[in-house]
Structure 1
Amino acid sequence: MYKDDPKFTMMFESKIFNINGDRLKEGDEPLRYYSLTNMSEYHMSRHLAASAQNMYSAAGITPTVINSICDQMIQAVNDKKIVDVAVLANNLKYRTKYPVDEHATLRMAMIYSIVEREDPDKCENHWTEWKLKRILDEPEAYSFFLPIGLELTPAYSEYLQEVSLNSLNQRKTMLESMQPSTSEQK
């Protein structure tokens, strides 16, 4: 569909997934990610989605994670586990101090990539999440799209030189350590 359209440039061809997002088998057409050759030709819905994603990226957190942490904090207050509330508050603070989040970065790259069957004149969250799931399961795609997402995320522009797989892993490890303990607290 987009392969022969000069407005589109193929960015990446999956070696793991077919056009439907299932495991690639012999004879299947591979999943291909395209971009518009001219950035100004993206539909306004994609620019709006990118702007919203950038706001969350600047905070170092996505709406899903914010809601999850808030739910945990509310439960901790209800359970009178004030230490857990403090741990979760520190988690939020850490995210704003070190905002570069790999999923937010990859999500930005997916906003500006288009796959077969996806309408280029709409930016629908289910497609962004569908693509994100595939690239998280394909190391080569992950490595390909991570720097693209970094470049497309204005909130991360000052971090371009210092972000690496190692720094993202360190951030992930630190955030994992900033979770309430599972043992019973008094």
Structure 2
Amino acid sequence: MSFKNNPKFKTQFVSKKFDVSGEPLKKGAQPLRYYSYTNISDYHMSRYLAANAQNMYSSSGITPEIMNAICDKMIQSVNDKKLSDVAVLANNLKYRTKYPVDEHAILRMAMIYTFVDNEDPDRCENHWTEWKLQKILAEPEAYSFFLPIGLQFTPAYSEYLEEISPTSLSKRETMLKTMLPATLEQK
């Protein structure tokens, strides 16, 4: 589906780095465009359900994938009798729930409410959300544009709106890295 000349949709952002297929933008190619509905009531129920699920993850400060990875590392550390590593990992989990703001969660929320060409606006499919997230993370201007949009759509972060910035997110990432044993990779 093309959203470009459809009055039900408005262009939110035009990539300066990627074409519509997600490849690096070359001269003459159509840039990747992100769209949203002009009228918020036109969003399909699947988008609202995905946003609700994303908000539940956002409020916990950790995605299921990261939690499983940390738990796997904790189990391995117990098996290896490295109890100090288990304590560090447990503190990492506690920190994440005490300070739940995660930039990927914020950007995923923005991606739930935006579309790209060939995406079905009446379905919220995780592979599209993740595809768009990877493009945004690789384009600083897109990252800066979508971060406040994701914040607006993430009720769990509304209390942090004043204090969230790229600098605060960077500090959080650094803090989380220091809360892992040196032998373990950061997720």
Does residue 100 of structure 1 match 2:133?
no
C-alpha distance after superposition, 1:26-83 (max 9, x if no partner): 1110000000111121111111110000001001111221111111111111111111
Does residue 62 of structure 1 match 2:67?
no
Match of 1:84 in 2: 85
CA distance in 2, matches of 1:39, 1:178: 41
Residue 114 of structure 1 aligns to a residue whose secondary structure is coil
AA partner of residue 61 (structure 1): I
- Stretch of structure 1 that moved more, 70-79 or 23-32: 70-79
Match of 1:165 in 2: 166
Superposed displacement of residue 181, structure 1: 2.3
Tell me the TM-score normalised to structure 1 length.
Answer: 0.96
CA distance in 2, matches of 1:74, 1:182: 14
Query: Aligned pair count?
Result: 183
C-alpha distance after superposition, 1:2-36 (max 9, x if no partner): 01111111000000000000000011100000001
CA distance in 2, matches of 1:118, 1:109: 15
Does residue 152 of structure 1 match 2:119?
no
CA distance in 2, matches of 1:179, 1:27: 46
CA distance in 2, matches of 1:57, 1:105: 8
CA distance in 1, matches of 2:86, 2:40: 43
CA distance in 2, matches of 1:170, 1:34: 31
Cα RMSD over matched residues? Answer: 1.0
- Mapping 1:1-186, distance limit 5 Å: 1-182=2-183
Q: Which runs of 4+ in 1 moved over 3 A?
A: none
AA partner of residue 81 (structure 1): K
AA partner of residue 32 (structure 1): R
Residue 159 of structure 2 aligns to a residue whose secondary structure is helix
Kept after mapping to 2: 8 A contact 1:84/1:181: no
CA distance in 1, matches of 2:153, 2:79: 41
Superposed displacement of residue 165, structure 1: 1.1
Superposed displacement of residue 110, structure 1: 0.5
C-alpha distance after superposition, 1:72-99 (max 9, x if no partner): 1111111111111111110011011111
Percent of aligned positions that are identical: 70
Kept after mapping to 2: 8 A contact 1:9/1:36: yes
Tell me the TM-score normalised to structure 2 length.
Answer: 0.96
AA partner of residue 10 (structure 2): T
AA partner of residue 176 (structure 1): K
CA distance in 2, matches of 1:138, 1:156: 23
